[in-house]
Amino acid sequence: MEKSNMVQEEKFGEKDFQTIIGNLLRYGVWISLSVAFIGGIVYLMNHGSQIEDYSVFTENDRNIFEVIAAVYNGTISGDGASLIFTGIIFLFLTPVLRVLLSLFSFLLEKDYLYVGITLIVIIIIIISISFGFSH
C-alpha cells in the first residue's frame, strides 16, 4: 500500500510539473504580447506624428549588457520603444525558461538521456546568444 501511494504522488508531481510548464508558455506569451502592445500604444502616443527616415541605417555597437541596461532604464521611464523591446525579450525568454524547466523535470524523473539532450540545447542557446551580440 505504501508503494502505491508513492507512485501516485510521483505521477501527481510529474503531471503538476507539466501543468507548470504549460502555464509558463501560455502566460509568458500573453504577458509579452501585452507589454509589447502597451509599448506600441505609448510609442504611437509620443512619436505617432513623426516621419521615419529609412534611408540611413546606423549599426548599434553596444554590447548586450549595455543594451539590457538601456532597455531596463527606458522601460522604467515609460519609453514606448523600450517597452516593445521588453515584450520581445519576454517572448524570447518564454521558451528558454521552458527548456530550463524541462531540464529540472528530466532530472527529477532521472531520465539522463533527455537531461543530456536538454543540456545540449541550452549550450546551443547560450552560444547563439553570445555570437549574436559579439562582433
Residue 29 lies inside a defined structural domain of this protein:
yes
Residue 115 lies inside a defined structural domain of this protein:
yes
Q: What is the pLDDT of residue 52?
A: 76
Q: Structural domain tally of the chain?
A: 1
Query: Using one digit for the tens of pLDDT, what is the confidence trace for 1-14?
Result: 455 444 444 555 66
Residue 66 lies inside a defined structural domain of this protein:
yes
Question: Residue 64's closest CA among 31, 92, 94?
Answer: 92
Q: What is the pLDDT of residue 91?
A: 93
pTM for the whole thing?
0.74
Residue 4 lies inside a defined structural domain of this protein:
no
Question: Residue 67's closest CA among 79, 80, 85?
Answer: 85
Q: Are 103 and 122 in contact (CB under 8 A)?
A: yes
Low-confidence ranges of the chain (pLDDT < 50): 1, 4-9
Residue 52 lies inside a defined structural domain of this protein:
no
Query: Using one digit for the tens of pLDDT, what is the confidence trace for 17-33?
Result: 788 888 888 999 999 99
Q: Are 68 and 85 in contact (CB under 8 A)?
A: no
Q: What is the pLDDT of residue 1?
A: 47
Cα gap 45→75, rounded to integer Å? 15
Residue 41 lies inside a defined structural domain of this protein:
yes
Could you tell me the residue range of the domain that residue 71 belongs to? Answer: 10-47+59-132
Residue 3 lies inside a defined structural domain of this protein:
no
